Amino acid sequence: MAGLLIALALALGGCVPFLGGPDQSVPLARAAQDLVEIAEERTGEIDWLGLRDPAGVQTEETKVLNGYVLSALMKAEVAVGLVDTTGKRWRDEELVGLKQGGNAALALGGRLEADAPWLYVRMFLVERASGQLIASRTTRLSARDLHRELAARQLGTRASDGPIEVELHLIAKREEIGGIQVVELAEGTQLQQGDQLQLRFKLSRDAEVHAFLCSSDGARETLFDEQYVYSDIVQYAPGENEWITFDELDQVYTLYFLVGPQLLAENAALFHEQFATLVRDGQINRFTGLDQLDKALIESLQHPQPLEVVRGDEDIPLGRPETMVYDDGNTLSSQAEILTGTPVLIRALSFSIP
């Protein structure tokens, strides 16, 4: 059945992103999974009639979503049959194909309706013989996510290969008599023992993120463990009310912040080994040799396209000032760096504790 389903889906103009993963639009997959819940507990086969726009017409947008719904139905192990409704239109509230073709007692179909900046998908489960509505479900998704996916397919690329924009707050603070103050953090900055660091960031699209520190004595510390992050959600490293504290004197630290479709993963050990070798051989001495460390990181990413490391801050645009409020009652002001990279963003910043 699964093989037949795939073949039919492709023949009907769909594109099925089976089994998900980083190359699949997570918001669209999540919406599809939500929709198919109305069919998960049903026994017997269900005919899939597809999605249409309010005029009853198949569009490029509905074809993209058809693929995601089919994928979700397969993951939920719903017994699905396909009815070829190509070229046929809605008539009033009637589901396309409800009274033609197909052998299942139940039929599943839906509408895609726009209300900018959102799209709403209404799914209907109907008894074929009587036309009685058995169940319905509606979910909302971002029009931007769907149009980004559609554009990537029309260009013959994956959404994960396109540019990504990040709003990155690099927040350093110092405790002094009278309260907490923000410390400017830039390339070559000298911090004091006991100063603390926190990252806050938001992505323009879903991607892998990894942030860590390398010190001049060869130590490493993870701020944000490599993981898949959803877009438009503020993330924190190491936590919303947590900080990295710098207690070691006479150290130079390099912060690496990585975003992209695929990062170090299984190649992390390769970078760690190269880093240790550079330190052991004396090729990294405080601020000397950091270009070699950047090069080692790029090599460990093993990406087919040339990658660059963003250092310095002269050409980095800043967002509007924002006030961060913490559980202890402290407030700090910060402006996000607005960073863009294709297909992997590497932000590096080196500073010292003298």
Q: What is the mean pLDDT of residues 304-330?
A: 89
| Reported pTM | 0.59
Domain spans in the chain, listed from the N-terminal domain onward: 2-154, 162-353
Per-residue model confidence as pLDDT tens digits over 216-250: 999 999 999 998 888 888 999 999 999 999 998 99
Is there a contact between 31 and 121 (Cβ–Cβ < 8 Å)?
yes
Judge contact between 125 and 134, C-beta under 8 A.
yes
Yes or no: is domain 2-154 CATH 3.40.50? Answer: yes
Residue 158 is predicted with a pLDDT of 52
Residue-wise pLDDT for 180-220, tens only, equals 999 999 999 999 999 999 999 999 888 889 999 999 999 99
pLDDT at 282 over 60: yes
Give the tokens for residue 97.
């194909």
- 134-182 confidence digits (pLDDT tens): 888 898 988 877 887 777 666 555 555 567 889 999 999 999 888 899 9
